[in-house]
A and B are shown apart, each in its own frame.
Chain A
Amino acid sequence: MEKKEKKFEEKVTELEKIIDELENGNIELEQSIEKYAQAMQLAKECDEKLKQIEEKVNKIVSENGKLEDFDLME
């Protein structure tokens, strides 16, 4: 997993924080425009992440600690 990119939850939390700041209205106009752009960017990134229908594979950890694909036996 690429650790550099922020986790989805962190992004959402940050988004929440920025929106709180914007709504409280204690920041200056220039700064709020910056924050607004930041919020929009975060929302876009989160939205994109949600839309990423990656072919998710369930994994199983075998006895020797190896990760293997896991398919449910019906």
Chain B
Amino acid sequence: MNNEKYLSVGALTKYLKYKFDIDEHLRSVFLKGEISNLKKHTTGHYYFSIKDENSKINAIMFRKNAMELTFEPEDGMKILVKGRVSIYEMTGNYQIYVEEMEEDGLGNLYIVFEKLKKDLEKEGLFDPKYKKEIPKIPEKIGIVTAPTGAAIKDILSTIKRRFPICKTILFPALVQGENAKEDIVRKIEMANQYDIDVLIVGRGGGSIEDLWAFNEECVARAIFHSKIPIISAVGHEVDFTIADFVADKRAPTPTGAAEMAVPSMYELEKLLKQYTIRASESMIKKIKYHKLWLESKKGSFVMKNPMILFENKKQYLDTLLEKGTQNIKYKIDAKKNALENIKKTYLFKKPQIIYEKQKEKLKNNIIKLELINPLNVLKRGYSLTYSGNQIITDIKNVKKEDPITIRFQNGEIKAKVIEIKEEKYGKEREKI
């Protein structure tokens, strides 16, 4: 038998693979189905099957693509994938090489979410101007969440740890499933009938379907219309729900919401201590300032010389007094003068007065004579110098070695001219 027409398995497989690979339809396949038999290999590659009611296909997702996934694939999960179909030569199995994968159904939800977000935003429900302020120190906190589970536990334990004097009221609500949205709305409305400072609305983390109630329009509106400020706490760090956008404040987790809702007791005590210190310090500063001010005023000129406060007045008083006395004096003097004048005119008629007058005149003349007597001048320290019997009035009248006589008030000195010095202006006394 001629075996030349027989193909090797390898050759056939290569041929089949070639056929698959050149087929455009198989190069880019969009496939939907359910994950089964998922194996996550240590290399990071995912091996699994995608099946529906009728068929099944093997699938592989390489590490490079698997790393891009935004969710954790699990068996039974409905998925949408994009990939290429080819043959794995070793086993001869055809399989789909998955490049992209997403959860089925989500796409739809995502579109709904985006539309609602856009609509509500346009309507102004997210506007910061509507955001109510969260009180810093609440006394009563309302909580709308499930009565069991991690969320309520986290919230209560956080409040107890940080601010144990705060009261809490739980409004138990369904937070998942068909009836969740109506229940959440009802509980928010109910809470608004109580005297509550702040309301925490939320739940623990979960899949996007689990959290979906918080993406419902009616829940968004209930949050918007709440009179009580609301902190949203949908336990999913990264994803925002519509409730998060409408709420007055968004916390990433229920614990975070509780932290936002209450202050820390420790911090508050510290703050109070600071306040008392600040009050005391500013008071001390104020008193110090007033003391200093007082000191400075004490040191001022007026306080050191208090008499200037009345000195001026005293002086003024003195002037007044003086003026007063003078006035009286003037009046008395005037009367006196008048009297004197009367006396004088009366006395004037007497001859003795004429005599007295003449005597007075004579006396005055004698005094005058006395004044011109040269001897009197000598008494004042002046002297007269003679050359012979001539008084020397000019230095030219004498020569060196001439004998001269100097006359004083009480005698004379004989002397000789030693030197003659002429002065241009004024006289110079001759030296003897």
Contacts and interface: CB of A to CB of B under 8 A. Distances in A.
B171 A61 contact: yes
Interface string B279-297: 1101101110110000000
**Max chain A CB contacts within 10 Å: which of B167, B191, B285, B290?**
B167
B335 interface: no
Given A12-B271, A59-B169, 20 more contacts: A19-B275, A19-B282, A22-B286, A23-B282, A29-B290, A33-B283, A40-B276, A46-B268, A47-B272, A52-B165, A56-B167, A56-B168, A58-B156, A58-B167, A58-B168, A58-B169, A60-B147, A60-B170, A60-B172, A61-B170
Nearest to B148: A73
Contact of B165 (A9, A25, A29, A54): A54
A9 B167 contact: no
A45 to B, nearest CB: 10
Interface in B158-209: 160, 164-172, 190-191, 194-195, 197
B190 A65 contact: yes
A70 B170 contact: yes
Contacts of B289: 25
A9 to B, nearest CB: 4
A7 to B, nearest CB: 6
Interface of B: 135-140, 147-148, 152-153, 156, 160, 164-172, 190-191, 194-195, 197, 265, 268-269, 271-272, 275-276, 278-280, 282-283, 285-287, 289-290
B279 A43 contact: yes
Contacts of A59: 167-170
Given A47-B269, A50-B165, A61-B190, A8 B137 contact: yes
Contacts of B197: 9
| Interface majority SS (helix, strand, loop, mixed), chain A | helix
A67 B167 contact: no
Contact of A22 (B138, B153, B268, B282): B282
B136 A50 contact: no
A70 B153 CA distance: 12
Contact of B139 (A8, A60, A61): A8
Nearest to B283: A36
A73 B170 CA distance: 14
Top-7 shortest CB links A-B = A9-B137, A22-B282, A39-B279, A60-B170, A36-B283, A43-B276, A59-B169
A12 B282 contact: no
A19 B279 contact: yes
B286 A29 contact: yes
A18 to B, nearest CB: 7
Contacts of A9: 135-139, 197
Contacts of A39: 275-276, 279
Interface string A18-60: 1100110100010011001001100100110110111010111
Contacts of A16: 275
A53 B282 CA distance: 32
Contacts of A12: 136-137, 268, 271-272
25 contacts: A1-B140, A1-B195, A8-B137, A9-B136, A9-B139, A9-B197, A12-B137, A15-B272, A15-B275, A16-B275, A19-B279, A22-B279, A25-B286, A32-B286, A36-B283, A40-B276, A40-B279, A46-B268, A47-B269, A58-B170, A61-B169, A61-B191, A67-B169, A70-B147, A73-B148
A54 B167 CA distance: 10
A52 B265 CA distance: 12
